[in-house]
Amino acid sequence: MGLVVLMSYVIGAKKNQKKLGGELPVKPTKKVIMDDTEWKEKLTPEQYRILRKAGTERPYGEVYSAFKKQGSGKYACAGCDTELFSSNEKFDSKCGWPSFYDPSQAKNVKTSVDYILGYPRTEVVCAVCEGHLGHVFTGEGFDTPTDKRYCINGTVLKFVPDQPPGSEKKSHKPAAPSN
C-alpha cells in the first residue's frame, strides 16, 4: 500500500514539474472556480488532496529534493498557474518542505488561521483558486529579511526556470535566397 501511494506521489510530482520553457503560463484574470470533478480532471490525485482538501505531502520527498536543486525561476500554483513565489525568496529551512521568506506576488497569496491540529496556524492559500498551499510561521529566528517561513507543499507548485540571458525567443525568419 505504502509503495503504491509513494509511486502515485512521485508520478504526480513528475507530471507537475515539467519544464515550461522559462515563461509563466497565461495567468487567469479572475477567480478560478471549478467543481470537484473538474479539479480531479486537472490535478493529480496528490495535488487534489493537497490543494482542494488541505492535505500535506510527506517531508523530504522527491519533490523536495528536486526543489533544492532548482535554480533561478518562478513558482506558480498547480491549480491555476498564478505566480506565487520566486527563487529570490527561497531558502533552506531544513524542514523537509520548500521554504520561502515572502511571496513574490503578495496579492496572489492569502492567509487565514486554521485549527486543524487543535491549535492556531496560519494557512497559506492561492488568492486566485483558493487552493491550500501550506502554512506560514513567524519568529522562528531564521536569518531572512522577514523572519517568516512560508512552508509550502512542493507538489502544488510549478517551477518555471528563468531564461538565461541572451536566450530570449528569436523569430525564425527564413533565410533570404542566395543568387
Q: Domains in the chain, ordered, with CATH?
A: 2-161 (2.170.150.20)
| Per-residue cell: 154 | 512542493
Does the structure show a pLDDT above 70 at 46? yes
> What number of other Cβ atoms are within 10 A of residue 51's Cβ?
27
User: What's the mean per-residue pLDDT of the chain?
Assistant: 83
Residues acting as catalytic residues: 151
What is the per-residue pLDDT for 169? 54
Does 20 score more than 80 pLDDT?
Answer: no
Confidence of residue 114 (pLDDT cuts 50, 70, 90): confident
| Residues 71-104: b if buried by 16+ CB within 10 A, e if exposed | eebbbbbbbbbbbbbbbebbeebeeebbbbbbbb
